[in-house]
Amino acid sequence: MIETVDTLPALRARISEWKRAGLRIGLVPTMGNLHAGHFSLVEAVRQRVDRVVASVFVNPTQFGPNEDFARYPRTPEQDARGLEAAGCDLLWLPSVEAMYPLGLHNTVTVRVPGITEILDGAHRPGHFDGVATVVSRLFNQVQPDVAAFGRKDYQQLAVIAHLVADLAFPVELLPVEIARDTDGLALSSRNQYLDADARARAPALGAALRALRESMRAGADVDAATGAAKATLRQAGFEVDYVEVHAPDLSPFVEGQGAAVALAAARLGATRLIDNLEFSLDGSPTAR
């Protein structure tokens, strides 16, 4: 069974031993209920380091009061087996007390300005403060050389890149491609909330973004393209939080720019799905 630690001293002991031996350490931060998307992060980071640590922590500070913290799926045994099979070396499984030792109401909060106020940040107030806060703690606890994050959470990745650059965390970020089901639905732990009817409708989210890309490539402006995507999603039964087009760094998109990212968040019943698509408009490869 994969080695599991649930106290900071135990984690530090193992990390110090590896550092003393000159080993490079990779981190895959997760909230558990792991799927192929998470395992692809482990596999990607493994290529670059000597030891891989995965954290599993359902972080209360990144959930709003009416969100799904209490019912967020928790599958610790299954996660441990999957991580071991994916080649992970250590599972960091902190309690809320280990992560927030001075108490949840007494915690130092890390806040990234600007970029956290748009898109998901506008619809989930405080969400990215919780993410930046817990990721800062994970970086301090694990002291990774490399940390992998999925591109599905495009804005989260941008927030963490800002955090790393501004606070000078000595970690290299490794963005990993979105893992999708055969019908194109981006893998997410929240997909399991979908009943059969909603699951059948869900791939429409990614399809709407691909149609948006094609309409912009055919000359539609952003308002027309996003308006059509929202209408399609509403017809498919979604309640739309946003469909927006930005420059790849999430600054406002200016008509005539050659590269863009389309991002969407929409609900099927109580389940909120997000997806994004990076694309070029001038035939050049996307920035990465």
Residues near ligand PAF, by CB under 6 A:
29-31, 59, 62, 131, 134-135, 153, 156
User: Would you call 38 a catalytic residue per the annotation?
Assistant: yes
72 touches 189 (CB < 8 A): yes
CA atoms of 129 and 100, how far apart (whole Å): 14
Instruction: Work out how close the CB of 62 gets to ligand PAF at its nearest, in angstroms, rounded to a whole number.
Output: 6
Beta-carbon contacts of 58 under 8 Å, excluding residues fewer than 6 positions away, are 31, 32, 69, 72, 74
CA atoms of 69 and 61, how far apart (whole Å): 9
Nearest by Cα to 175 from 156, 189, 194: 156
Instruction: Work out how close the CB of 58 gets to ligand PAF at its nearest, in angstroms, rounded to a whole number.
Output: 8
Q: In the structure encoding, which two tokens stand for residue 96, read together?
A: 């809320």
Instruction: Work out how close the CB of 36 gets to ligand PAF at its nearest, in angstroms, rounded to a whole number.
Output: 15
**Other C-beta atoms within 10 Å of 164: how many?**
18
User: Given the complex with ligand PAF, which of 68 and 237 has the nearer CB atom?
Assistant: 68
Instruction: Work out how close the CB of 30 gets to ligand PAF at its nearest, in angstroms, rounded to a whole number.
Output: 5
Q: Which residue has the tokens 């106290």?
A: 7
Terminal CA-to-CA distance of the chain, rounded, Å?
A: 37
User: Given the complex with ligand PAF, which of 29 and 121 has the nearer CB atom?
Assistant: 29
Instruction: Work out how close the CB of 282 gets to ligand PAF at its nearest, in angstroms, rounded to a whole number.
Output: 32
> Which one is catalytic: 35, 38, 123, 162?
38
User: Given the complex with ligand PAF, which of 117 and 223 has the nearer CB atom?
Assistant: 117
User: Given the complex with ligand PAF, which of 62 and 232 has the nearer CB atom?
Assistant: 62
226 touches 241 (CB < 8 A): no
User: Given the complex with ligand PAF, which of 134 and 208 has the nearer CB atom?
Assistant: 134
Beta-carbon contacts of 245 under 8 Å, excluding residues fewer than 6 positions away, are 212, 216, 222, 225, 226, 253, 260, 261, 262, 263
- Active site amino acids: 38
